[in-house]
A and B are shown apart, each in its own frame.
Chain A
């Protein structure tokens, strides 16, 4: 199919001519000082003065050239996909890394603290006592832990930072919920009550504690604040395990659509914000957490790297979700307009609508070099191998609207439908596998 380009930004020729005529007429005008032009570029002028400078700039090509050249960063060295979203300070890799380490130390401390009294010759009595006291004490412990879990879930939803925010939450827990503290203390003081509830095995008890603390970093920090001695040995695996908490919240946030200024980005945003991509990405993490909760201490060490892997893939997923405008090269960008048409930005100047297929409302586009893939309503999928000059229809495996297209090259790619179904191909769309 031949490309039919339609210029989106055009004015009648007479407008250019009259603008040029106005320029010629204003040739003798006095130019603003370098000082004023610098202040204009830095937006340091008063409004009336700024308007005067703008009126002069509209008629003076020399001053426009100066203003453009005096801009701080050379434009063509940048490859901008879209304005970079501000990343919260607590989501910085360094903070996450150290936050995860700190959280793991806290968890180990809790484990050690709970484990230590049992070690001091109390194991047998503990098992004995648990046999008799379990039924009475278990509900008490359960009620004591439940609010803490709820609170932690709340704090996780608020995108709690790995280190500092959990500390504050912990402080407010101890101060703001006095009812919890005695209950937790009683659980500490009477290990039989808590430990016997899940099982009588010491190892399993510790595993239970670890999982609980993964779910409740707030409680874990309380222990750290109490100044317990921490052991370094077991910190690393647990650290990776717990570190997944913050990215989970982050990934959920990243999945939510954000209103951006870009008009073309909006259409693509809709595609990126479809429910499909975040859901499957978030699921494995939840499963992993469940797996962790059922694990023993030994298993926790094994589970942790898996969790780290999930976090990594989660990060990738969120990155992809933030890529509504596809980049093909330094000079070309692709997007989908509000009315579902494919558009390209050439040399950073003109968004031009590209007619790909009639009666198809496109919602997502993916570009890699000269390979462009566009997906839209009723499973429509089109592919161009020549930077959008010609397009071929590709048979897609679904009749549903395609919400997202993601191709890394000519062969490998994934399409996601509006309902969240994912299809993958490794042969350029000849065969598809449902995920």
Chain B
């Protein structure tokens, strides 16, 4: 027991030395990066720059990462764009000048791509500019959205993503505020509320399907959701994954077949015969629900209140 004490002390000393060495290496990497980007030009001191990088590291680096790992991570960041964004957030005129020269038109183009109407596109882009500049104040400081940019992707990609989020938020707000006149025109107020309660499927069918879906990798599940739930085109999905649309087409077809087989196997494992399993899969009780809905919809279309639909 008496020997254990000096050992522990020695270990502690070694640990402290290693931590100090790591910090030194970390500091050296940050200093090197500071020299390569234009942070000083945008009014960011080396100390501030280090704080920014350390905060990003804390956010994204896994716990227990060493100095080497941290340095590699810092180098993978878009340092120059990070310095520009943080310079803008801090209110540097030079940084804003550079930012507007590089991204102003791109942002308007992107907004036009989303809205397809010049006036609304400008409105959307300008509202984002206001947030980027920081019209609201937090703790007595201007809160610029650019302060949340961490340099993981390009600044342009980040701006596009933020703009898309802004667009979706606006669209949702707009959707909620539909005037009564518009509702009357559409005949919506006379629509019968659709009964949501769906007949429950066979528990074994649900379990088998969940099992089959759970066995897929995240990318395959993403493809299925994007294709079958969002009705995205093959090209859109392909673009988001960086592959050709034909690859997605093949995958969707293959996934459909493999899922069917996996669900059938799962049903048979749960005590169904092959015929029963096939019947359970093919004649889903939800089909009945869909048919009834379609029939109701057809009858509703003939009603005198839904003039628009009739045309």
Contact = CB atoms under 8 A, between A and B. Distances in A.
Q: How big is the B interface, by class?
A: 35 or more
A76 to B, nearest CB: 9
B168 A62 contact: yes
Given A14-B205, A51-B218, A70-B163, A41 B250 contact: no
B5 to A, nearest CB: 41
A10 B256 contact: yes
Contact of B161 (A17, A70, A262, A347): A70
A55 B230 contact: no
Given A9-B227, A18-B213, A69 B162 contact: no
B contact face: mostly helix, strand, loop, or mixed:
helix
A53 to B, nearest CB: 8
Interface stretch (A31-39, A224-232, A355-363): A31-39
Contacts of A262: 244, 246
Interface in A239-261: 261
Contacts of B114: 69
By size class, the interface of chain A is 35 or more
B154 A22 contact: no
Given A18-B209, A65-B168, A54 B222 contact: yes
Given A44-B152, A44-B153, A66-B164, A20 B218 contact: no
B167 to A, nearest CB: 6
A36 B210 CA distance: 28
B235 A348 contact: yes
A66 B286 CA distance: 31
Contacts of B205: 14
B222 A61 contact: no
A interface secondary structure, majority: helix
Nearest to B73: A46
B209 A14 contact: yes
Contacts of B255: 11
Nearest to B171: A65
Interface in A1-54: 8-20, 22-23, 33-45, 51-52, 54
A15 B224 contact: yes
A59 interface: yes
Contacts of A16: 228-229
Interface string A255-275: 000000111110000000000
A51 B217 CA distance: 8
Given A13-B286, A14-B209, A14-B284, 7 more contacts: A14-B201, A15-B259, A34-B158, A38-B157, A39-B157, A40-B153, A349-B232
Interface of A: 8-20, 22-23, 33-45, 51-52, 54-55, 57-59, 61-62, 64-75, 80, 83, 261-265, 345, 347-349, 351
19 contacts: A9-B227, A12-B259, A14-B205, A17-B209, A18-B206, A23-B229, A34-B158, A35-B149, A42-B157, A44-B152, A57-B218, A58-B222, A66-B168, A69-B164, A71-B240, A75-B236, A263-B249, A264-B246, A349-B233
